[in-house]
Amino acid sequence: ETGVTQSPTHLIKTRGQQVTLRCSSQSGHNTVSWYQQALGQGPQFIFQYYREEENGRGNFPPRFSGLQFPNYSSELNVNALELDDSALYLCASSLVAGTGGERPYFGPGTRLLVL
Amino acid sequence: AQTVTQSQPEMSVQEAETVTLSCTYDTSESDYYLFWYKQPPSRQMILVIRQEAYKQQNATENRFSVNFQKAAKSFSLKISDSQLGDAAMYFCAYRSVTGGGNKLTFGTGTQLKVEL
C-alpha cells in the first residue's frame, strides 16, 4: 500500500471524447509522473509535474495534457480519444524532482477503454 | 536515449526453487539507478529492489538480489526460495541521475509463474 490513489479505477469512452484521470499523491510528495501501459507492454512515460509545472515529457502528442494542484494532486487529460489510447494509466509520486535516489510510489492505475 | 531489454517474456519456477530474470540496458551515462518492479494482477506496481550504478555492491532485499554488471550493462534479478505470491509480471527500469526528474524507462516485462 503506497498511499497514492487514482480515480476512477475503470472508464469506458468512445473515440473522439475527452477524459480526465485523477491522482492523489502520497503525503509529503511534490512530484507526480504519469505513465501509459498498453496491454502486454511496459509503462511508457507521459510527463511529470513538479511544483505545479511540467518538467519532463515523453513522446506523447499535445492532446495529452496535465495539471498539478497546490496540494500536489494531479490530473491527466486526454482530448480527441483514439482507440490506441486504451491502456492502463499509472500515476507515480515522489518527494522531489531531480538527481536524488527518490523512488516513485505508484498508484493502482486507471483502466481506460476507448470504443 | 536509454533503452531497457527483457528478453524473457515468460519464466517458470517451482516453489522453493531459485529463478533469475534477465535485464540489459543501453545508456551512455555513467551514473544512474536501476529498479526491479513487480506488478501482480491487481496492477499495483511494487518496488522489489533498487541499485545505484555507482555502488559496486549488489543490492539485496531478503529473498531478492541482483547481479549488476555495469560494464556489460546487465542487471538480473534472482529470487530465492520462490513463493506462490511471487507470481507476477516483473519489470526492469532505468532512471537517469541527471535530468529527466523521476522518469523511468521500463522494459517489456517478464511474466513469472510459480508452480507447486
CA distance A37 to chain B (A): 10
pLDDT for A40-89, tens place per residue? 899 999 999 988 899 889 999 999 999 999 888 999 999 999 999 999 99
**Residue A31 vs residue B77, higher pLDDT:** B77
Percent of chain B at pLDDT exceeding 70: 97
- CA B73/CA A74 separation, integer angstroms: 35
User: Could you tell me how many CB contacts below 8 A there are between chain A and chain B?
Assistant: 68
Best A45, A90, A95 residue to mutate vs chain B (most B CBs within 10 Å): A45
Nearest to B104 among A41, A104, A107 (CB): A104
Taking CA B106 as the corner, what is the angle to CA B100 and CA B107, rounded to the nearest 5 degrees?
150
Judge whether residue B99 has pLDDT over 90.
no
Write down the mean pLDDT value for chain A.
Answer: 90
A37, A86, B27, B60 from A115: Cα distances, Å: 17, 8, 38, 44
Q: Which chain B residue's Cα is nearest to A39?
A: B108
Q: Which chain B residue's Cα is nearest to A47?
A: B103
Which of A103, A58, A26 lies closest to B52, judged by CA? A103
Judge whether residue A100 has pLDDT over 60.
no
Percent of chain B at pLDDT exceeding 90: 81
pLDDT band at A2 (very low <50, low <70, confident <90, very high): low
Reported as type and span, the H/E element at residue B32 is strand B32-39
Judge contact between A32 and A51, C-beta under 8 A: no
pLDDT for B50-92, tens place per residue? 999 988 899 999 999 999 999 999 999 999 999 999 999 999 9
Judge whether residue B31 has pLDDT over 70.
yes
CB contact under 8 A, B100 and A44: no
User: With a CB-CB cutoff of 8 Å, which residues 34-93 of chain B face chain A?
Assistant: 35, 37, 42-47, 50, 52, 91, 93
Residue A30 has a pLDDT of: 83
Residue A3 has a pLDDT of: 85
Judge whether residue B34 has pLDDT over 90.
yes
Nearest to B108 among A2, A42, A94 (CB): A42
Rg of chain B in Å (alpha carbons): 14
pLDDT band at B42 (very low <50, low <70, confident <90, very high): confident
Judge whether residue B25 has pLDDT over 90.
yes
Judge whether residue A97 has pLDDT over 70.
no
